[in-house]
Amino acid sequence: MALGNLKDVRESVKTFRESGSIKVSFERKGGGKITYSHRQHTKSETNLMKTGRPEHYLPSQSTVSRDVRLVFVNCRRRIAMMLKMYKGRLSFATDAWTAPNHKPFVAVSAHLEHEGKPLSFILDIIEVASVSNTHEVGVT
């Protein structure tokens, strides 16, 4: 709707096909924030998505899982290299919260400035051991 006419829509789709980036497809005029969500589809939803398009390939869960892990490893390697090579100051922060299932977590993050813009990286999220499972030694 924000593109305004069919010619601009066709150009947007052409740009998406060339770049392969979903952000290009959803980009709005005026620089609004791009948001989208995803979730696992059921077998019946997957079959419904292919209705009328049997030639479409939908990767298996194991393929998607493998690819996500590969992207994670590569991103982690790049972030580690970036933090090691960074010449400025790094700021580290922690945040703690309790999930709705009553499990406590702590996140560790790093913050820096890169090319004049702030960057934040989540370095780790740790589930905190339950107090009921720990025992103090030597206290009477």
Does the pLDDT value for residue 54 go beyond 70? no
Kindly give, in sequence order, each residue whose CB lies less than 8 Å from that of residue 46, ignoring residues fewer than 6 positions away.
58
Does the pLDDT value for residue 139 go beyond 50? no
Amino acid (one-letter) located at 35: T
Does the pLDDT value for residue 81 go beyond 60? yes
The angle subtended at Cα 122 by Cα 120 and Cα 125, nearest 5°, is 160
Output the CA–CA distances (angstroms, integers) from residue 109 to 70, 96, 128, in the order listed. Answer: 22, 12, 16
Helices (H), the chain: 6-19, 22-26, 43-49, 61-85
Take residue 32 and report the two structure tokens written for it: 């609004």
- At 91-137, the pLDDT tens digits run 999 999 998 888 899 999 999 998 889 999 898 899 998 655 455 54
Check residue 64 and give its pLDDT. 86
Domain ranges (residues) in the chain: 1-33, 56-85, 88-140
Query: What's the pTM?
Result: 0.47
